[in-house]
């Protein structure tokens, strides 16, 4: 089948993967490296899969410069699973019930707050709700608890398009837990500033079904007694993420993505391209008042770009025209409407350029 128009997929997740990775996975589908087996068919305890797992772990450690006193866990249950798994693992640190501090910056931190209430007292230290979730509340305005078990933030709100441009500077005894599901590996980070980093894989890493957790080793053993063994950080860490069967194929694809990122120059190189992609797209949205992105400029996400047409009666026409040009999955999240372009690592600059060309054409520029 001849494919005249290149396809660019702007889905928020599950999302686009690097073409090279999918091609390699296809080539290795039936017989991984002469083993005679598909990765899906391998025992997670066999030497073949162990080598895949160890390479993925080592590559991720290198890409994010994860310090040796941090464990990398390959878990299941998604980002929403972590909303329960993290309080169950950390809230046992102190007198019961523990208090957890949250910054409410949009839909995903909102869900985290709701879930945590089942396990602890919740203190919302600041909220962007009154402003329609268009900014991260300034840290000076946060009303932090004394003796909180931890502070939870969502460093990139996938639906609202709000991204932190700073790391909170708080009492060093209070660990920072960061939901980085939709921007992990898109920019350099200092892992040592966080107690726990977690990310569902299906946004910027690989297939759904894998959840990455990076946790400081001092936080492995503060679990509430109700915490299930399969989700207990210490148990998972002691078993090298194989207390129960891990999502082997998803780990394999994630490993291919990590190797691919290394080949491209690592996270710093990706960040450079991501800055350029975001600059191009926001410039087209800001060019006149045909489109609108409502997020304060300094907190605009480099990964998820929600926008509205001023004349919303043109939404269907806009989406149909986009699809005809190979620009897919631009419809906004149902809770906010409008459009959303997710421009993760695997979205090439040419994809953003194609979208910008279409935005200009549709606006009659
Ligand atoms: C997608 C997403 C989640 C939820 O992930 P699931 O895998 O569906 O549980 C959580 N947090 C953020 C920031 C997300 O983008």
Instruction: Give the model's pLDDT for residue 3.
Output: 58
Instruction: Give the model's pLDDT for residue 15.
Output: 97
Whether residue 355 lies inside any domain: the answer is: yes
The reply to whether 184 and 235 lie within a common domain is yes
Spell out, as residue ranges, where the chain has pLDDT lower than 50: none
The reply to whether 130 and 247 lie within a common domain is yes
DSSP string, 294-363: -S-GGGB-SSEEEEEESSGGGHHHHHHHHHHTTEE--BPPTTT-SEEEE--TTS-HHHHHHHHHHHHHHT
The reply to whether 235 and 283 lie within a common domain is no
Length of the chain: 365
Report the pocket of ligand 1 as residue ranges, CB < 6 Å: 13, 78-81, 108, 154, 158, 179, 181-182, 200, 203
How far apart, in whole angstroms, are the C-alpha atoms of residue 258 and residue 256?
A: 5
pLDDT tens per residue, range 77-131: 999 999 999 999 999 999 999 999 999 999 999 999 999 999 999 999 999 999 9
Q: How far is the CA of 109 from the centre of ligand 1 (A)?
A: 10
Q: How far is the CA of 311 from the centre of ligand 1 (A)?
A: 30
The reply to whether 252 and 302 lie within a common domain is no
Whether residue 64 lies inside any domain: the answer is: yes
Instruction: Give the model's pLDDT for residue 180.
Output: 98
Q: Which residues pair with 211 in a beta bridge?
A: 75, 200
Tell me which DSSP letter residue 166 carries: S
338 backbone φψ class: left, alpha, beta (φ>0; ψ -120 to 50): left
CB 334 within 8 A of CB 269: no
CB 90 within 8 A of CB 222: yes
Backbone φ and ψ of 185, nearest 5°: 70, 5
Tell me which DSSP letter residue 178 carries: E
Domain region containing 167: 25-263
- CA-nearest residue, atom 5 of ligand 1: 79
User: Among 195, 229, 263, which residue terminates a domain?
Assistant: 263
User: Among 263, 290, 320, which residue terminates a domain?
Assistant: 263
The reply to whether 87 and 186 lie within a common domain is yes
The reply to whether 244 and 176 lie within a common domain is yes
The reply to whether 254 and 274 lie within a common domain is no
Catalytic residue status for 108: yes
Minimum-distance ligand 1 atom for the alpha carbon of 81:
9
Catalytic residue status for 160: no
User: How many structural domains does the chain have?
Assistant: 2
Whether residue 110 lies inside any domain: the answer is: yes
Q: How far is the CA of 218 from the centre of ligand 1 (A)?
A: 26
Q: Which residues pair with 214 in a beta bridge?
A: 72, 197
CATH number at residue 224: 3.40.640.10
pLDDT tens per residue, range 124-183: 999 999 999 999 999 999 999 999 999 999 999 999 999 999 999 999 999 999 999 999
The reply to whether 163 and 242 lie within a common domain is yes
User: Among 213, 244, 263, which residue terminates a domain?
Assistant: 263
Whether residue 1 lies inside any domain: the answer is: no
Instruction: Give the model's pLDDT for residue 220.
Output: 98
Catalytic residue status for 262: no
Instruction: Give the model's pLDDT for residue 2.
Output: 55
Minimum-distance ligand 1 atom for the alpha carbon of 82:
9
CB 107 within 8 A of CB 157: yes
The reply to whether 158 and 299 lie within a common domain is no
Whether residue 218 lies inside any domain: the answer is: yes
The pTM of the full predicted model, rounded to 2 decimals, is: 0.98
In the numeric block, the tokens 């390479």 are attached to 55
């Amino acid at each position: 089948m001849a494919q005249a128009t290149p396809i660019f997929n702007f889905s928020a997740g599950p999302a686009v993967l690097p073409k090279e990775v999918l091609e390699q996975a296809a080539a290795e589908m039936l017989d991984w490296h002469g083993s005679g087996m598909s990765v899906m068919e391998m025992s997670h305890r066999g030497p073949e899969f162990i080598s895949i797992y160890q390479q993925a772990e080592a590559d991720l450690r290198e890409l994010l410069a994860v310090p040796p006193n941090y464990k990398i866990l390959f878990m299941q249950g998604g980002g929403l699973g972590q909303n329960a798994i993290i309080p169950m693992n950390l809230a046992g640190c102190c007198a019961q019930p523990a208090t957890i501090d949250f910054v409410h910056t949009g839909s995903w931190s909102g869900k985290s707050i709701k879930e945590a209430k089942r396990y602890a007292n919740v203190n919302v230290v600041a909220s962007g709700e009154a402003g329609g979730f268009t900014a991260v509340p300034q840290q000076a305005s946060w009303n932090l608890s004394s003796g909180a078990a931890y502070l939870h933030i969502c460093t990139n709100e996938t639906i609202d398009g709000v991204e932190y441009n700073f790391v909170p500077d708080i009492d060093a005894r209070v660990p920072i837990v960061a939901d980085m599901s939709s921007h992990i590996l898109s920019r350099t980070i200092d892992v040592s500033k966080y107690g726990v980093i977690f990310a569902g894989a299906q946004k910027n890493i690989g297939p759904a079904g894998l959840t990455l957790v990076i946790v400081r080793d001092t936080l492995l053993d503060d679990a509430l007694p109700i915490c299930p063994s399969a989700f207990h950080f210490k148990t998972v860490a002691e078993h090298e993420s194989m207390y129960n069967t891990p999502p082997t194929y998803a780990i394999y694809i994630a490993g291919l993505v990590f190797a691919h990122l290394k080949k491209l120059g690592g996270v710093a190189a990706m960040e450079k391209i991501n800055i350029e992609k975001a600059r191009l797209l926001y410039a087209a949205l800001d060019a006149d008042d045909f489109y609108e992105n409502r997020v304060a400029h300094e907190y605009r996400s480099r990964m998820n770009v929600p926008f509205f047409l001023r004349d919303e009666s043109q939404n269907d026409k806009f989406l149909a025209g986009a699809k005809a040009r190979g620009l897919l999955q631009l419809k906004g999240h149902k809770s906010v409407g409008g459009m959303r372009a997710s421009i993760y690592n695997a979205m090439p600059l040419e994809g953003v350029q194609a979208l910008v060309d279409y935005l200009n054409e549709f606006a009659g520029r």
